[in-house]
Structure 1
Amino acid sequence: MARLDTVKNITGLTEWFGKNTKLRNLVNLVVVAGFFDPSKSNDREEIAEIKKMHALIEKYQLKGQFRWIAAQTDRYRNGELYRCIADTKGAFVQPALYEAFGLTVIEAMNCGLPTFATNQGGPAEILVDGISGFHIDPNNGDESSNKIADFFEKCKTDAENWNKMSAAGLQRIYECYTWKIYANKVLNMGSVYGFWRQTNKEQKLAKQRYIEAFYNLQFNNLAKNVPIPEFASSTQTSSTSKTKPQETAPTAVVESQHSLPTQEAKPKVEEAPVLMPKTQLTQRHVF
């Protein structure tokens, strides 16, 4: 169901299965991930994981108990794989070191598969440990593999144990992870956001009024009482001393005590008469 990389921990699950003799006597392991041929991958990490998977198969002699299916991109085929495992009373294991959400966990539970999922990330909230599924620690392979083995051993003695866990997983999906629930949550979030946006707008106006009142009544008066630093006045005096205005000679004005000063008489200028040019009258100018 995934590409082969370190975080998905598919090779870790294979190693858990190879080491646990009790688990190998109860069930077989089917892995759906990556490519068989490392030359088909361009990712160095995935190439290393493919080679590691082949080495684990040879190391623990898993042939006959292990089936490796390449990663599927067809969602309909993925659904058939889930249901095929469910028909054989199997289980789904998600051993990732960390999983952000866990879509495959929801898909498997929705197909009625008892699910073992990592306790790191989203799957820790999707299922309830021991009720609608099981949490496993990806950093403790022995404990996780024993937990899976104990479940199948109990199913061997109690046929209804598998059905109970399958029904509990389906109930968990119907209560929390259907499209109807998702759509209602999205609509509710949109409504809450619209209400919050309108309320926040009024709060912003009130906050702005408070800031303006505080500025005019308190801050402005406090700012006026702040003393001016001395270096500011010294710089002003130094700047004025550098540019001195030029001194002009004093002028004395003598005025009479009894009369106002009179203006000097200006010489009369006779206006010269304006000489108009003599024009010879013609018959056209006489009316």
Structure 2
Amino acid sequence: MTNKRGLYVVLISIHGLIRGNDLELGRDADTGGQTKYVVELAQALGKHTDIEKVELFTRQIFDERVADDYQQSEEDLNDHARIVRFPCGPKRYIRKESLWPHLDVYIDNAIKHFRRQRRVPDVIHAHYADAGYVGAHLANLMGVPLVFTGHSLGREKKRLLMANGMDEATVEKKYEISRRTEAEEVALDNALMVIASTHQEIKRQYSSYENYRIKQMQVIPPGVDLERFYPAKRRGRYPAIINQLKHFLAEPAKPCILAISRADERKNIQSLVHAYGKSERLQELANLVIIAGNRDDIRRMDRGARKVLQELLLNIDTYDLYGKACYPKHHEPDDIPEFYRLAARLQGVFINPALTEPFGLTLIEAAASGLPIVATNDGGPRDIIANCHNGTLVDPLSEEDITQGLLRVLDDPEQWKRYAGNGIKGVKKHYSWDSHVRKYLTTLKKKLRLRRVNRFFEAKRTQIPTAKKFLIADIDNTLLGHEGATERLVEVLKKHQGELGFAVATGRRIESARSVLKEWNIPEPEVFISSVGTEVHYKGAELQLDESWAKHISYQWEPEKIRDLITPLPGIVTQEKAAQRTYKISYFYDPKKSPTAGELRRILRQKNLHAKVIMSHGQFLDIIPIRASKGHAVRFLAMRWGIEPEDIIVAGDSGNDEEMLNGNTLGVVVGNYSKELNKLHGKHAVYFAEKTYADGILEGMDHYGFLEQLEQTP
């Protein structure tokens, strides 16, 4: 790197509840190990000498049901790391599946943050599919390398849910699986590096994706905070947490089988209870202690957690486990290390019987505390036990196998001692945050070695318009289409000349765009975004091409390979030579014969070709670089000019306008729009006008009070 400063790293983890202390782990399905992982990663990176600054981007929440902590726009983690929160959708706390329609707004809010500090990060590391979508767009727009960690993947979740009897339609409706897996594909398509916790995660989960590329995959297991998780003293008093067990257990000083997870069906707590309830030997040897999140009133919990906890209580009653089973309603974050240490002090065992486990942070926490483990024979547990030799693997679907795995540890004191000692040593060697960060930065620096200092915000003065608000409109069927409507819009532009900037964003090439605007007596725009966002020109004595935009979008563009692959496909015909541009390949397509947009993306991805597929008006197909689009060009210009998205009104009518209509810009869909834009109904700041063509633009301006705001602007 030519930049002599330390690295500026941005981590993105949007959903759930994220704060620096007292994480609410297990509160719901969105407050699992990922929240803990990203906070501890930010803290650990912030302590490293090679890091100048770490920012963990998450969601800002105003909701009386959750703590005020999540309202803070910024929260320091240490001297070089902090949490930064941006609005995203409703102010209230919502489940991650409800966030998808609001992520484009989140992207624009992140862009504002970078614009304010006039600096972009050296790397963006996105966590989970929603952050993958956001991170990919930010990385494309700013030319920043993307690192992606999926944590849990949509295709694997769908497979497991359907294997457990849920039909495909229900999976789709409840979990937005198609949207999630496409976001994961987009993240993989753009990622410089993908970090997985285990080799199994790479081989079985990531390999099912179209954008799977083994060279970008790196196994870097998460770390554990060894200052919180450490062995109990072998003598003296028991940890004070034993008092919580006394409310439930007849013999609280017996060894215990400890399980800690959120109340989720996939965590498979019921199989553990069945195994324990059916085994007299297990009941004779140990108590059962289950920490399944916090609860006040089960009836008010979400359906999934409610079902798990109701079954838990019913099964305890069925097997009459009173006095033998402990299931506290509440615990504090600092209680968790104490539970591990108490279980180790009692010579118990920790079990994770989850149906699938991408990694298993609780397993290394238990191991660091000197507690042997029994874990599902899937994913992370395989690597952990292979590295640490501190427990045994079991089939989570076999109650008998779970029973025998627990007995192998509890029934053999010498084996218990070996497992306990091996776990403590193994975690220090393989799973400390120090070792994680060393490997993380060593691998990252190799990838960033040839990276240039980003000059993203340094626009030429001659290219910066002076207006404070802008209209950016598509040409065909938006600006044009009705002569009277166009004349009315032109009058508005003339009246506010100098105050209201004017730009066009069109699929046409620049020569054609200039010609048709002149034909319709429309004043020359200050900026032309042409050829579906692949070219940017500025008004002047002679039009000036923005060479920096052209250089930016050339990344990974391989047009000849794309033509060789797409041109022979059925229902696809190459457009005339004049329609082809350096960064745009244009076809006509027959929707009855040609592959769909999704199928075309799949064909390109399978050949490791990175490009965007845009279909519009039911007949036009454009393939452009992965960094290009009308939407990205609009935001590129806004960032360089220092214009807020809310001061830009964008208008369009077809599929190639979709991306620029999303986000914080004020979107107007004119009344004669194509069906490709139906998906934007209900989106933030997208207004569907009743009037058509340029009259629709004027109606949209009235809807937003855009001209009134312009007149009030000093």
TM-score interval (norm. to shorter) = 0.5 to 0.7
- Work out the percentage of aligned pairs sharing the same amino acid: 31
- Alpha-carbon distance change, 188 to 129 in structure 1, aligned in 2, over 3 angstroms: closer
**Bigger helix fraction:** 1
Separation in structure 1 between the aligned mates of residue 284 and residue 337 of structure 2, nearest angstrom:
27
Deviation at 1:123, TM superposition (A): 1.8
Q: Which amino acid aligns with 2:352?
A: Q
Does residue 57 in structure 1 map to residue 316 in structure 2?
yes
- Aligned mate of 1:106, from 364, 367, 374: 364
- Structure with greater strand percent: 2
In the alignment, structure 1 residue 192 sits paired with structure 2 residue 446: yes
Runs of 4+ in 1 over 4 A off after TM superposition: none
Kept after mapping to 2: 8 A contact 1:30/1:67:
yes
| Change in CA separation of 1:141 and 1:130 when aligned onto 2, cut-off 3 Å | farther
In the TM superposition, what is the alpha-carbon distance from 1:2 to its structure 2 partner?
A: 2.4
- Verify the 8 A CA contact 1:36 1:50 in the aligned structure 2: no
Deviation at 1:81, TM superposition (A): 1.1
Q: Which residue of 1 aligns with 2:265?
A: 6
What is the aligned partner in structure 2 of residue 172 from structure 1?
426
Structure 2: gaps (5+ residues): 1-259, 453-556, 561-714
Per-residue displacement from partner, 1:126-156 (whole Å, max 9, x unpaired)?
Answer: 222993221111011111211211321122x
Question: Is the 1:4–1:49 Cα contact (8 Å) retained in structure 2?
Answer: yes
> Is the Cα contact below 8 Å between 1:23 and 1:146 reproduced in 2?
no
Per the alignment, residue 22 of structure 1 pairs with 281
Contact kept? 1:32, 1:68, Cα under 8 Å: yes
1:181 counterpart residue number: 435
Alpha-carbon contact 2:349-2:372 (below 8 Å) kept: yes
Provide closer, same or farther for how the CA distance between residues 189 and 129 of structure 1 changes in structure 2, counting only shifts above 3 A: closer
Match of 2:392 in 1: 134
Does the residue aligned with 1:81 lie in a helix, a strand or coil? helix
Gaps of 5+ in 1: 199-207, 212-287
Asked whether the 8 Å contact 2:356–2:376 carries over to 1, the reply is yes
* Amino acid of the structure 2 residue aligned with 1:118: T
Q: Is the 8 A contact 1:128 1:134 kept in 2?
A: no
Distance between the aligned counterparts of 1:106 and 1:60, measured in 2?
A: 31
Following the alignment from structure 1 to structure 2, what is the Cα–Cα distance between the partners of residues 141 and 129? 26
- Pairwise CA distance, 1:195: 3.8
2:292 counterpart letter in structure 1: A
User: In structure 2, the residue corresponding to 1:75 is in which secondary structure?
Assistant: coil
Structure-2 separation of matches of 1:179 and 1:131: 20
In the TM superposition, residue 197 of structure 1 has moved relative to its aligned partner by 6.3
Question: How many residues of Structure 1 are paired with residues of Structure 2 in the alignment?
Answer: 196
Aligned-partner SS, 1:127? helix
| CA drift at 1:187 | 1.5
Cα distance, 1:36–1:149 mapped onto 2, change above 3 Å: farther
Say whether the 8 Å CA contact 1:86–1:111 is kept in structure 2: yes
Counterpart for residue 151 of structure 1: 409
| 1:38 lines up with 2:298 in the alignment | yes
Counterpart for residue 114 of structure 2:
none
Q: Deviations over 1:69-120 (max 9, x none)?
A: 2364x33211111111111111100111112221111111110000111112
1:36-62 CA deviation, whole Å, 9 max, x = no partner? 742241x11211111111110111110
> Is contact 1:33–1:71 with CA below 8 Å preserved after alignment?
no
Question: Which amino acid in the other structure matches residue 282 of structure 2?
Answer: L
Residue pair 2:351, 2:373 contacting (<8 A) in 1 also: yes
**8 Å Cα contact 1:37/1:50 also seen in 2:** no
Mark the CA change 1:78 to 1:130 in structure 2 (over 3 Å): closer, same or farther. closer
- Equivalent residue of 2:370, what SS? coil
Instruction: Identify which of structures 1 and 2 has the higher relative contact order when contacts are C-alpha pairs closer than 8 Å and 6+ apart.
Output: 1
* Amino acid in the other structure paired with 1:185: K
**Letter paired with 1:31:** I
String of CA shifts for 1:142-182, please: whole Å, max 9, x gaps. Answer: 11211211321122xxxx33221100111211111011111
